């Protein structure tokens, strides 16, 4: 089976699903767009009521992100960390595709199912929860990902492809 992958400098933390499937499903749901932080819930409600029609959407999003940064700084100063499950493995992802990714190390078990979190290097930075199955010792197929995360994953993949194409053109000169 041939899978098209693009180099991507991101990391993943993961564990086998069979160790605590219920807890992993709960965290997966918490990281979904339905369990957004309070500022995003407020923004969605305001948009639904039509209270943001006269507001510049880019400016509004920047203000929301600034609010999140302040919340993040406050958590840092209080030495608080987001509640996340402890996962057993942390490894670099070598390359990604739309439905697949390849780890830098051969640590997967063929056919095993896993739950993981990927910190996406997009704005705003956040953890993306995924379920995946090992196709071999380093290649995995994503089996479950939230719709919004799929869009960001695809956008990140496309951006990486553009960077690599640009670098290839520059090296030919």
Where do the structural domains in the chain lie, given as residue ranges?
Answer: 6-35+85-172
The CATH topology of domain 6-35+85-172 is Thrombin, subunit H (2.40.10)
Task: Tell me how far apart the alpha carbons of residues 77 and 89 are, in angstroms, rounded to a whole number.
Answer: 28
Report residues of the chain scoring pLDDT below 70: 1, 33-37, 123-124
Return the structure tokens found at 115: 């739950």
pLDDT the model gives residue 35: 47
DSSP category for residue 59:
H
pLDDT the model gives residue 111: 96
pLDDT the model gives residue 32: 76
* Distant-in-sequence, close-in-space partners of 135: CB < 8 Å, separation ≥ 6: 1, 100, 110, 141
pLDDT the model gives residue 36: 59
| pTM as predicted | 0.77
CB atoms within 10 A of CB 88: 10
């Amino acid at each position: 089976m041939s899978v098209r992958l693009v180099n991507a400098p991101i990391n993943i933390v993961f564990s086998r699903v069979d160790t605590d499937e219920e807890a992993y499903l709960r965290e997966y749901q918490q990281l979904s767009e339905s369990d957004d932080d309070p500022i995003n819930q407020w923004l969605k409600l305001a948009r639904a009521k039509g209270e943001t029609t006269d507001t510049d959407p880019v400016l509004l999003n920047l203000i929301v992100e600034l609010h999140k940064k302040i919340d993040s700084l406050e958590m840092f100063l209080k030495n608080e960390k987001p509640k996340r499950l402890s996962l057993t493995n942390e490894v670099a992802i070598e390359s990604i595709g739309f439905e697949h990714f390849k780890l830098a190390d051969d640590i997967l078990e063929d056919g095993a199912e896993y739950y993981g979190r990927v910190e996406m290097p997009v704005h705003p930075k956040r953890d993306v929860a995924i379920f995946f199955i090992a196709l071999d010792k380093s290649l995995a197929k994503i089996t479950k990902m939230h719709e919004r995360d799929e869009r960001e994953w695809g956008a990140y993949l496309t951006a990486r492809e553009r960077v690599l194409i640009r670098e290839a053109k520059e090296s030919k000169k």
